[in-house]
Homo-oligomer: A and B are copies of this chain.
Amino acid sequence: MNITMIEAAAQRLSGHARRTPLLSSPFLDEIAGRRVLVKPECLQHTGSFKYRGGYAAISALAPDVRARGVLAYSSGNHAQGVALAARQHGIPAVIIMPEDAPALKIANTRALGAEVVLYDRAGAQTREALGGELTQTRDLTLIRPYDEPQVIAGQGTCGLEIASQARDAGVETADVLVCCGGGGLTSGIALALEAHAPCLRARPVEPEGFDDTARSLVAGQILRNDRLSGGLCDAILTPAPGDLTFPIMQRLCGPGLVVTDTQALDAMAQAFLRLKLVAEPGGAVALAAALYHADQIDGDAVICVISGGNVDADVFARASRLGNA
């Protein structure tokens, strides 16, 4: 796993992935007490950064392997990213999704042409076991959501853009806050920044109660979450940082930040009000940390990724009304 793989992924993604802009608002700067720059991956195809990794992984497969199809397990964003990338490559995709995933994410994945298999997140059979069975019986290639070099490479292309856009915006030193589930986006961005903007430092941000990565970074070893459901930030509720992603984060990332679900909703309201963006709860945790944990951040500027915007209307309405209060 190295920068060359990220740069190669950027080549394959060119003309496919969207180069998302770097946005700002004086109102956000005022809340945070410093310049806030937002990388809105909710504007990426399928509404999250996951399209980058899905496309990068599928495009890296040998043509005969790829033609047999791919399988993914995902709470929804990886599902949609893989589904669209598979459709663009003209190959079948089977997606294993938890039955409590947002209705919108399940519907979108099906609409993008994938076959969806639902499972019980708290049940006896892990999604990994179910995925293993399906890959064997149907000869599909598993596209892991984060612990997969080509997926990390794809997510890292977001970091290449941040490095270049931060330079254009005159930002030399800053923390780059990244919404963190299994660590694919965080570790990919960290590798890209190491090579192209060594004065920018990636830091994972997680929701309270699901701060496996923050605790793992402190402990120096992989620690797991106690529970795997019940939080609002469904997109980033994963059991533990990955075997591939954790060593990268340990080597390159600053300390993790933790925000409450309420802070994530408040950040969604600010994204609605000030940036005219739709962020999902898990996609808003980095902005929440930038706005509401300013004391844990150094520097004149902070960059934060809004990792996705696939949220049901009811949850969004609950959040957006906070902004008018």
In the assembled complex, the Cα of A164 lies from the Cα of B309 at a distance in Å of 28
Distance between Cα atoms of A111 and B111 in the complex (Å) = 43
Q: A279's closest neighbor in chain B, by CB? A: B276
Residue contact B43 to A324, C-beta cutoff 8 Å: no
Q: How far is the CA of A84 from the CA of B104 in the complex (A)?
A: 37
Contact yes or no, B276 A42, CB < 8 A: yes
Q: Indicate if the CB atoms of A276 and B309 lie closer than 8 Å.
A: yes
Q: Is A255 an interface residue (CB 8 A)?
A: no
| Those of A166-219 within 8 Å (CB) of chain B | none
CB < 8 Å neighbour of A104 from B18, B104, B273: B273
Q: Which of B20, B40, B272, B279 contacts A313 (CB 8 A)?
A: B272
Query: DSSP class of A's interface residues: helix, strand, loop or mixed?
Result: helix
One digit per residue, 1 when the CB lies within 8 angstroms of any chain B CB and 0 when it does not, for chain A 237-277 equals 00000000000000000000000000000000100110111
Q: Which of A12-47 contact B (CB under 8 A)?
A: 18-21, 23, 25-27, 40, 42-43, 45, 47
Copies in the complex: 2
Q: A314: CB under 8 A from chain B?
A: yes
Question: Would you give the shortest CB distance from A23 to chain B, in whole angstroms?
Answer: 7
Please name the 10 residue pairs, one residue from A and one from B, whose CB atoms are nearest each other, closest first: A276-B309, A317-B317, A276-B278, A42-B276, A313-B320, A313-B321, A313-B324, A47-B276, A272-B278, A43-B276
Known: A21-B21, A103-B324, A276-B310. 17 other contacts (CB 8 A): A18-B23, A25-B45, A26-B84, A26-B112, A27-B108, A27-B111, A43-B275, A104-B273, A104-B324, A276-B279, A312-B324, A313-B320, A313-B321, A313-B323, A317-B317, A317-B320, A317-B321
A positions within 8 Å CB-CB of B: 18-21, 23, 25-27, 40, 42-43, 45, 47, 84, 103-104, 108, 111-112, 269, 272-273, 275-279, 309-310, 312-314, 316-317, 320-321, 323-324
> Would you list 23 pairs from A and B whose C-beta atoms are within 8 A, ordered by A residue?
A18-B23, A19-B21, A26-B84, A26-B112, A27-B111, A42-B276, A43-B275, A43-B276, A47-B276, A103-B324, A104-B273, A272-B278, A272-B316, A276-B310, A277-B277, A277-B278, A278-B278, A313-B321, A313-B324, A316-B320, A317-B317, A317-B320, A317-B321
